[in-house]
């Protein structure tokens, strides 16, 4: 669901007519407002402000334990701080029936307790993207395709060889809603790059086999039950001969009006770019500023 943006629950309801939908209908006006509708209304209201920036993916800080740290390049502690910053700004509204937005996400892994190697930021991944989003009004209680998002995303870790990692993708994100369940089906296409001429070549493909571990898309689901938010992310390369994938489980619950307690579990490949081909088994708990819904 990341490409679609954050679906944080609004403090108060917004009218359905303020949503950036492809068409207004009497049916949508009479439909009950969902968590997704409230988030869309918030984003449209913010877009009218000259310098408004909204959240995109969840923003959080976690104290984590990784049972399978990658010690290939340096001796790492299993305990690590992980945090994510994700913001979005609207560029244009009602363009070809949809809206255009620019987003930036950064996720960092900090060896805060590893004084033996001066407590460095072990890895940071930088992810700018641009997206076009088309939204439909909700109709009935059946599983319904609420939105289509088409985007381009670059992701890299800004490091030199041999730790440099990067790739560019075009993605299609289909958002479905059914009562309190929200599902994102997000296939992507990796834009090919020229091969490197040698191991120290700064140009060329840093990670030609990344799709073997990250796959060709992901499915994300968020279930809203009262104030609880439960999330599931699945990736797989769909290769029975050399199968790789990942699963992430999330749970959050609000602490007052501005914070949420957040627990995240990740198992598999591709949690970070430097470890895209190393299986990670991480559990973390901490605070979140905003969730998907």
For 239-274, how does the pLDDT look when each residue is reduced to its tens digit (9 = 90+)?
Answer: 999 999 999 999 999 999 889 999 999 999 999 999
pLDDT of residue 23: 39
Across 8-12, 51-55, 257-261, 270-274, least confident range: 8-12
Annotated active-site residue in 18, 154, 164, 279: 154
Domain residue limits at 271: 2-290
Contact 225, 256 (CB under 8 A): no
For 146-176, how does the pLDDT look when each residue is reduced to its tens digit (9 = 90+)?
Answer: 999 999 999 999 998 889 999 999 999 999 9
pLDDT of residue 28: 40
Question: CA quadruple 22, 26, 29, 31: dihedral positive or negative?
Answer: negative
The Cα–Cα gap between 98 and 121 comes to 39
pLDDT of residue 1: 63
Annotated active-site residue in 156, 164, 278, 279: 156
CATH number of the domain that residue 139 is part of: 2.40.230.10
- Domains identified in the chain, total number: 1
Would residue 156 show up in a list of annotated catalytic residues for this protein? Answer: yes
What the block records as the tokens of 132 is: 């076009």
Would residue 115 show up in a list of annotated catalytic residues for this protein? Answer: no
On the question of pLDDT at 182 being above 90, the answer is: yes
Radius of gyration (Cα) for the chain, nearest Å? 20
Mean pLDDT for 224-234 is 97
Q: What is the pTM of this model?
A: 0.85
Average pLDDT of the chain is 87
């Amino acid at each position: 669901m990341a490409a679609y943006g954050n679906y944080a629950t609004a403090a108060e309801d917004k009218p359905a007519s303020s949503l950036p939908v492809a068409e207004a209908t009497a049916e949508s006006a009479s439909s009950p407002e969902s968590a997704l509708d409230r988030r869309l209304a918030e984003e449209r209201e913010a877009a009218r402000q000259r310098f408004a920036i909204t959240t995109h993916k969840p923003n959080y800080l976690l104290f984590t334990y990784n049972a399978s740290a990658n010690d290939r390049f340096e001796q790492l502690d299993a305990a690590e701080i992980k945090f994510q910053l994700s913001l979005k700004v609207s560029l244009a509204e009602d363009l070809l029936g949809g809206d255009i937005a620019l987003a930036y996400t950064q996720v960092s892994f900090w060896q805060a307790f590893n004084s033996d190697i001066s407590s460095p930021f072990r890895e940071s991944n930088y992810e700018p993207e641009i997206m076009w989003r088309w939204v439909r009004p909700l109709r009935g209680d059946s599983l319904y395709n609420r939105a289509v998002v088409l985007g381009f995303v670059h992701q890299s870790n800004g490091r030199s060889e041999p730790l440099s990692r990067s790739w560019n993708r075009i993605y299609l994100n289909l958002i479905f809603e059914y009562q309190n369940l929200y599902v994102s089906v997000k296939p992507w296409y990796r834009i090919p790059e020229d091969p490197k001429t040698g191991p120290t070549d700064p140009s060329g493909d840093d990670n030609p086999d990344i799709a073997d571990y990250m796959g060709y898309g992901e499915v994300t689901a968020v279930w809203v039950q009262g104030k609880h938010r439960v999330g599931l992310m699945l990736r797989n390369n769909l290769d029975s001969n050399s199968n790789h994938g990942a699963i992430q489980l999330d749970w959050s619950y609000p602490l007052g009006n501005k914070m949420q307690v957040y627990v995240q579990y990740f198992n598999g490949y591709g949690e970070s770019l430097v470890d895209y081909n190393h299986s990670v088994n991480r559990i973390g708990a901490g605070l979140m500023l905003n969730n998907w819904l």
